[in-house]
Structure 1
Amino acid sequence: MTRTPAPAGTSLWRQRDFRRYLTGQTASVAGSSITSMALPVLAVIELDATTGQVAVLAVLGQLPPALLALHAGVLADRHPKRRLMIISDLVSAGAMLTIPAAAATGMLSLAQLMTVAAVMGTAGVLHDAAAISLLPSLIDRASIQHGNSKVGVLFAVAATGGSNLGAALTALLGPARTLTGDVFSYLVSVWCTARIQVRESVPTRVRGKRMRTEIAEGLRYVRADPRLSVLTWVNATTSFGLSILNTLWALYLLRNLQMSPTAFGVLLGVGALGAAGGAWAAPALARRHGPGPMMLGALALTPCTQIPLLLASPGLAWQVVIGCALVLQLACAGAAGTTQRSIRQIVTEPSMQARMQAVSTCLTSSARPLGALLAGAVGTWIGVRPALTVGSVLLVVPLLVLARSPLRGLRQMPTAPDDPKEEWPATFTIPTPGHCQETACTDSRNGEGK
């Protein structure tokens, strides 16, 4: 049995398909956070991995979004999204299950960990392309921002809870057994996704149409719409700046500012509350100030939140100040990220949802390793604090991209593509890679956000 989304005005909590979607995806985020905690411990403690091997393990998990996001977007627009989500989750669960099984028999190796990381990274790209683009099919377009707000809140809480649970389970059961928690989360996601009943529109594919042709269509579609183009470049430039900060942030706090591991963990947990709060407040802030001014204000505050970090010295007082700044930074990320994602989903045609998202994912994912390389080079050449200063200054770039566009004055959320009331300035200069680069407003200190 299938059904169409509930009409606008119906509480999202009363819509079963949305609840099932949210439950499944929240479980998946919590499970991934367990893995992000347990997998490095398994590699370093159990398998005695070197620094280089740990880096390779991390890269293998991060490369698929940069290399395969555009292809995953085409597949998600070609085929039923729920089916792709279920297949991807089952592949990830099966790959993850091989780790505790091999550990139990004494056959676990670093090569297996790296293979599993690559397989799960690939499956995750396809899952995310389908999952993010499925949301507009589940709820009315007028409710998309409220839907993304709830997604952002629960994802932030789930990520923090998953990390803490992962740390506790690793201490109690060992890192290999802890990974079964992530396997369970994938099965929960499969069960919830399979129970979604909303009618999903899948466009009829032209026979013989090549994937690269459809990828090119997605790129042209994003470039042709000034709203999508601007927000995509805002995402990419934000990701580039934050990747520099994220690469050296933990090292700087733990070594230069002599913060204890316990204090560092508390800092990250408190910061996640900011992300949840920003996502929760986003619809109200957009109604009161307008989506454009609200995003502009959030982007303007983000570089300012790095000032305490750059001025800090060892001591409890500075740790508290840095924690408060992190809460504000992630609140800005939650509010701006929820709003920009909602705008992109609202203005994009159903047949292009996944490819639109894939363009942003590809650029933001490509920006992260480049930022990490720059951070390493600058940090080695002139020091960690100057490298953090470079990253902070680069966070001004997305602010300038948005400030130069008509989106800066957007006073209400746009309407659907086929709504005749929608108006937009005819003259607009689309930024090019020479002017700016792209990153995600939803990036956080400790990395992804989807």
Structure 2
Amino acid sequence: MTSCAEPPSTSSSSTSLWRHHDFRRYLTGQTASVAGTSITQMALPVLAVLHLDATTAQVAWLTFLGQLPPALLALHGGALADRYSKRRQMIAGDLVSAAVLVTVPVSAALGAMTLSQLMIVAVVQGAASVLHDAAAISLLPSLVDRSLIQRSNSRVGALFAIAATAVSHLGAALTAVLGPARAMIGDVASYLISAGCTARIQAREPARARPDARRLGEEIGEGLRYVRGDERLLTLTLVNATTSFTLGLLNTLWALYLFHRPAASPTAFGVIMGVGGVGSLAGALLAPRIASRIGIGPTIIIGFAVSPLAQVPLLLAGPGRGWQIALAGTLAVQLFWATAAGVSQRSLRQILCDPRFQGRMQAASTTVTAGALAILLDVRTVLAVGAILRTIPVLLLLASPVRALRTMPNPPDTKAVPQAREGSL
């Protein structure tokens, strides 16, 4: 992993991102943070089942509570990121995550761990991640030149794909060797690494207007009106909100369904996820080239259109090696295009948005979590509903100006900024 202790950053216009010291610190810290989140998402349900004999409904509630903070706090996190230092907010989020997660191995060693504690940990860590993520995604445009934003997001997406896949296997190995509680010590360390790397970023953030006596609600309302005033940003925000909702359905139950209906073994499941990770890595690295060849708009649309189609083999799959191979190939194709689309639309949003609204614009795409539906519906029905809902982003994109974009647009006129109205939300 790249060391954080490096000389001051080179010019943001440098053609080599790997020589851009602040970007490398940012990338290292974000990779560590994603790795920590991956371990948490895997270890908490395992702890609940193996150590506390949690039922399926209790595990669903644990997952739901972990997804709840983004729905409730994302807009506030984005407004805080636009008001105060993004780096300090990222560091605070990492340190809170580390502090709350370290209580798990400690309580387990003392024989005092309870399901209520795990639920509190899930909520607090989820809230800390909201603060961190709202600032992190909006900090990148201030670190690199506009011409490097798409390449920067490509590198971020690639390392995220590697981290998510590798850490899933590493986390499983640590869980098997050390137990899920002690494995979370690695999770704590990852957040401390993330905080340390972020603290060493030296680039100056854009000047911020002092909050004075303005309420946070007014700034949230100002950000929402800004997004609503740009049809392209509004479309991408609605697309991401819908995708966030459906991923809350699919990600919660995808693995559970795969283990039961196609009867995949843990080894087969690991191989399927590994092949999918390779597809995601390729999509991240090739996203700028694909967008250059077919256009930024078509890249985004194709990426979102492939996802609902890829759910069909999962719903039809049965036991057997042939179905497992088909699922692995389907997942690789899906994640290839989903990651390419994600890199492209994230870059487009960052370029379209005024620097003063980056945090609030990014946070506006978070919507109400859907994980609780798992408590009310059977797994296959939830996955089918999720697949159908994933067609909505495609329809939104086809009806918007985004479909006609072939190259990145010019940055916005920062003089034309809507003013907040008193008491608006």
Please report the TM-score for the alignment, with normalisation by the length of structure 2.
Answer: 0.91
> Aligned partner of 2:121: which letter?
V
Does the CA contact (< 8 Å) of 1:5 and 1:139 recur in 2?
A: no
Deviation (angstroms), 1:88: 1.5
Is residue 393 of structure 2 the alignment partner of residue 398 of structure 1? yes
Does the CA contact (< 8 Å) of 2:9 and 2:21 recur in 1?
A: no
Give the whole-Å Cα distance in 1 for the aligned partners of 2:62 and 2:309. Answer: 33
Deviation (angstroms), 1:113: 1.8
1:368 aligned counterpart, secondary structure? coil
Deviations 1:372-412 (A, max 9, x none): 52x665648xxx2x654443333222111111112101010
CA RMSD of aligned residues (A): 2.1
> Aligned partner of 1:397: which letter?
I
Is residue 202 of structure 2 the alignment partner of residue 197 of structure 1? yes
Greater shift, 300-309 or 148-157, is seen at 300-309
The equivalent residue for 1:148 is: 153
Q: CA 1:348–1:4 in 2, change beyond 3 Å: closer, same or farther?
A: farther
Give the whole-Å Cα distance in 1 for the aligned partners of 2:256 and 2:124. Answer: 29
2:53 aligned counterpart, secondary structure? coil
The equivalent residue for 1:298 is: 303
1:360 aligned counterpart, secondary structure? coil
Does the CA contact (< 8 Å) of 1:35 and 1:166 recur in 2?
A: no
Is residue 295 of structure 2 the alignment partner of residue 283 of structure 1? no
Task: Please point out which of 151, 154, 162 is paired with 1:157.
Answer: 162
The correspondence of residues 216-295 of structure 1 with structure 2, limited to 5 A, is 216-295=221-300
2:318 aligned counterpart, secondary structure? coil
Give the whole-Å Cα distance in 1 for the aligned partners of 2:334 and 2:45. Answer: 27
Greater shift, 233-242 or 223-232, is seen at 233-242
Deviations 1:222-276 (A, max 9, x none): 1111111011111122334444444443343222222223212221122111111
The correspondence of residues 312-323 of structure 1 with structure 2, limited to 5 A, is 312-323=317-328
Is residue 86 of structure 2 the alignment partner of residue 81 of structure 1? yes
Q: CA 1:314–1:409 in 2, change beyond 3 Å: closer, same or farther?
A: same
1:305 aligned counterpart, secondary structure? helix
Deviation (angstroms), 1:207: 1.5
The equivalent residue for 1:54 is: 59
Q: CA 1:140–1:4 in 2, change beyond 3 Å: closer, same or farther?
A: farther
Does the CA contact (< 8 Å) of 1:236 and 1:367 recur in 2?
A: no
> Aligned partner of 1:250: which letter?
A
In structure 2, list runs of 5 or more residues that go unmatched: 1-6, 416-425
The equivalent residue for 1:368 is: 370
1:232 aligned counterpart, secondary structure? helix
Does the CA contact (< 8 Å) of 2:60 and 2:375 recur in 1?
A: no
Over the matched positions of the two proteins, sequence identity in percent amounts to: 59
Does the CA contact (< 8 Å) of 1:5 and 1:198 recur in 2?
A: no
Q: CA 1:243–1:37 in 2, change beyond 3 Å: closer, same or farther?
A: closer
Q: CA 1:358–1:10 in 2, change beyond 3 Å: closer, same or farther?
A: same
Deviation (angstroms), 1:95: 1.1
Give the whole-Å Cα distance in 2 for the aligned partners of 1:238 and 1:57. Answer: 21
> Aligned partner of 2:408: which letter?
M
In structure 1, list runs of 5 or more residues that go unmatched: 421-450
Deviation (angstroms), 1:4: 8.1
The equivalent residue for 1:105 is: 110
The equivalent residue for 2:190 is: 185
Give the whole-Å Cα distance in 1 for the aligned partners of 2:133 and 2:106. Answer: 27
Does the CA contact (< 8 Å) of 2:39 and 2:187 recur in 1?
A: yes
2:204 aligned counterpart, secondary structure? coil
Aligned residue pairs total 409
Give the whole-Å Cα distance in 2 for the aligned partners of 1:182 and 1:157. Answer: 16
The correspondence of residues 310-389 of structure 1 with structure 2, limited to 5 A, is 310-361=315-366, 363=367, 366-369=368-371, 373=373, 379=378, 384=380, 388-389=383-384
Does the CA contact (< 8 Å) of 2:276 and 2:332 recur in 1?
A: yes
Deviations 1:17-46 (A, max 9, x none): 000000011011112222222222222212
The equivalent residue for 2:49 is: 44
Deviation (angstroms), 1:56: 2.5
Q: CA 1:367–1:170 in 2, change beyond 3 Å: closer, same or farther?
A: closer
Deviations 1:128-166 (A, max 9, x none): 111111111110111111111100010111011111111
2:147 aligned counterpart, secondary structure? helix
Greater shift, 298-307 or 76-85, is seen at 298-307
Please report the TM-score for the alignment, with normalisation by the length of structure 1.
Answer: 0.86
The equivalent residue for 2:423 is: none
Does the CA contact (< 8 Å) of 1:17 and 1:198 recur in 2?
A: yes
2:107 aligned counterpart, secondary structure? helix
Q: CA 1:335–1:378 in 2, change beyond 3 Å: closer, same or farther?
A: same
Task: Please point out which of 404, 411, 414 is paired with 1:409.
Answer: 404
Does the CA contact (< 8 Å) of 1:275 and 1:331 recur in 2?
A: yes
Deviation (angstroms), 1:308: 2.4
Deviations 1:401-427 (A, max 9, x none): 11111210101012222499xxxxxxx
Deviation (angstroms), 1:216: 0.5
Q: CA 1:3–1:346 in 2, change beyond 3 Å: closer, same or farther?
A: farther
Does the CA contact (< 8 Å) of 2:93 and 2:131 recur in 1?
A: yes
Deviation (angstroms), 1:315: 1.4
> Aligned partner of 1:149: which letter?
S
Does the CA contact (< 8 Å) of 2:8 and 2:22 recur in 1?
A: no
Deviation (angstroms), 1:80: 0.6
Give the whole-Å Cα distance in 1 for the aligned partners of 2:278 and 2:409. Answer: 29
Does the CA contact (< 8 Å) of 2:12 and 2:20 recur in 1?
A: no
